[in-house]
Amino acid sequence: MNRIILHIDLDSFFASAEEVRRPDIRGKVVVVCVYSGRTPDSGAVSTANYKAREYGIRAGVPIKIAKEKARGLDAVFLPVDKQYYQEVSNRIMDLIEEQGDRIQQASIDEAYLDVSTKADESWITAKKLAEKIKKKILDQEGLTCSIGIGPNKFVAKMASDFRKPDGLTLVRPEYVKEFLKDIPVIKLHGIGPKTASALEEMGIERAGQLASVDQAVLEEKFGANKAKLLFEKALGVDDSPVERQEKKQLGRMGTLQEDTRDPDRVMEKIKELALDLRERIKEKKVRFRTVSVIFVSTRLEDHSRSATIPETDDLEPALDATRKLVESFLSENPDMVIRRCGIRVSNLEYGGGQMTLEDF
């Protein structure tokens, strides 16, 4: 069967997430940094928004150099806030999972989705689904992403990288070779810098050249196994499955009809979201011990409150706990007006097989 795989990757994720919660920095050069603490400017750039990249400021650049490049520009340097990005990421992964549960999260900001059956093996349907996911992520989280669609994970990943930010690139099986041919070998996912320079020394700079190089030459240089792998990359061959992991949490988010501080209104929305979540819990045959409520305020502040409950697969008793969480949160935060809210269960116990723990 022909497979159809989506690869979804958020654009300049940490920097864009900062722009979402801080409207005052939107449109500026935004640089998110990992400060090592030795001197005020020691450390490296974690990521930068696309505006910053125009000036050569990108992941890995030392902060000191990034500041030199940003001199005279309207630039903001911020420390990483991993907890916040993780929270946004969780919500987005939930949202993607709503569209199809053959999902493999590959990092904090990327996931593969196998839609082979869901899309009725139609590339048009897959493209529509990708557009829907892009729209949902934009509407609900204010973030853009780039999506690649291809017959396997490797091609999907290369396709999502092809046009960024806010791209959507579909590569049908018959165009894979053509699509890859001009891509520099260093950009082929899974080929490291050492291998890439060894190839370049041999005069092989692009995937097309790599695909047509004499097999014996490659084998002599890299050994049979590696040579095979290199050919596969050059030709876009990849049989690896989308490995559905057991998620560490399941949740649903929604926007309130009106901004509010009324616990009843918030609970109404949470109950509505819980209906959908309950279905997912049933489908996944999962039991949980933690229930959380997520709040996003009108000022786009991001909060959550959790409660531990006796292990259950029933959301009904958990809703009592969420009501208390909502009430106490609102009374602890008298100035906060809620725009969006959500419910999540975690500390999951899967009824079926083993749980694969992935530490993102």
- Going from the C-alpha of 164 to that of each of 116, 148, 183, 347, the distances in angstroms are 24, 10, 15, 35
Residue closer to ligand TTP (CB basis): 57 or 267:
57
Active site residue 110: yes
Catalytic residue among 19, 87, 97, 110: 110
**Least Cβ distance, residue 60 to ligand TTP (angstroms):** 5
| Integer Cα distance of 229 and 240 in angstroms | 13
| Integer Cα distance of 13 and 9 in angstroms | 9
Interface residues for Mg ion in 95-124 (CB under 5 A)? 109
| Integer Cα distance of 60 and 57 in angstroms | 9
Residue closer to ligand TTP (CB basis): 13 or 295:
13
CA 139 to chain centre: 16
Residue closer to ligand TTP (CB basis): 30 or 277:
30
Kindly state the tokens that stand for 315: 């959301």
**Least Cβ distance, residue 107 to ligand TTP (angstroms):** 6
**Least Cβ distance, residue 38 to Mg ion (angstroms):** 28
Asked if 302 interacts with Mg ion (CB under 5 A), we say no
Q: Are 277 and 313 in contact (CB under 8 A)?
A: no
Write out the E strands in 298-337. Answer: 302-312
Q: Are 219 and 198 in contact (CB under 8 A)?
A: no
Q: Are 112 and 242 in contact (CB under 8 A)?
A: yes
Asked if 238 interacts with ligand TTP (CB under 6 A), we say no
The correct pick among 4, 33, 46, 61 for binding ligand TTP (CB under 6 A) is 46
Asked if 62 interacts with ligand TTP (CB under 6 A), we say no
**What number of residues does the chain have?**
360
- Identity of residue 160: S
**Least Cβ distance, residue 210 to ligand TTP (angstroms):** 23
The answer for residues whose C-beta is within 8 angstroms of residue 307's C-beta and 6 or more apart is: 290, 291, 292, 321, 322, 324, 325
Residue closer to ligand TTP (CB basis): 43 or 236:
43
Asked if 10 interacts with ligand TTP (CB under 6 A), we say yes
Residue closer to Mg ion (CB basis): 164 or 221:
164
Residues 292-325 as b or e (16 or more Cβ within 10 Å = b) = bbbbbbeeeebbbbbbebeebeebeebbebbbeb
**Least Cβ distance, residue 310 to ligand TTP (angstroms):** 37
**Least Cβ distance, residue 161 to Mg ion (angstroms):** 9
Applying CB under 5 A, the span of 6-14, 20-28, 90-98, 129-137 interacting with Mg ion comes to 6-14
Q: What percent helix, strand, coil does the chain show, rounded to 5?
A: 45, 25, 30
Tell me how many residues contact Mg ion (CB under 5 A): 4
The correct pick among 3, 6, 7, 9 for binding Mg ion (CB under 5 A) is 9
**Least Cβ distance, residue 135 to ligand TTP (angstroms):** 18
Residue closer to Mg ion (CB basis): 151 or 167:
167
Interface residues for ligand TTP in 125-184 (CB under 6 A)? 164-165
Coil, strand, or helix at residue 308?
Answer: strand
Interface residues for ligand TTP in 76-135 (CB under 6 A)? 108-109
The answer for 293, left when phi > 0, alpha when psi is -120 to 50, beta otherwise, is beta
Applying CB under 6 A, the span of 5-13, 253-261, 304-312, 316-324 interacting with ligand TTP comes to 5-13
Asked if 60 interacts with ligand TTP (CB under 6 A), we say yes
Active site residues: 110
Residues at the site binding ligand TTP, with contacts judged by CB under 6 A: 9-14, 46-47, 59-60, 108-109, 164-165
Residues at the site binding Mg ion, with contacts judged by CB under 5 A: 9-10, 13, 109
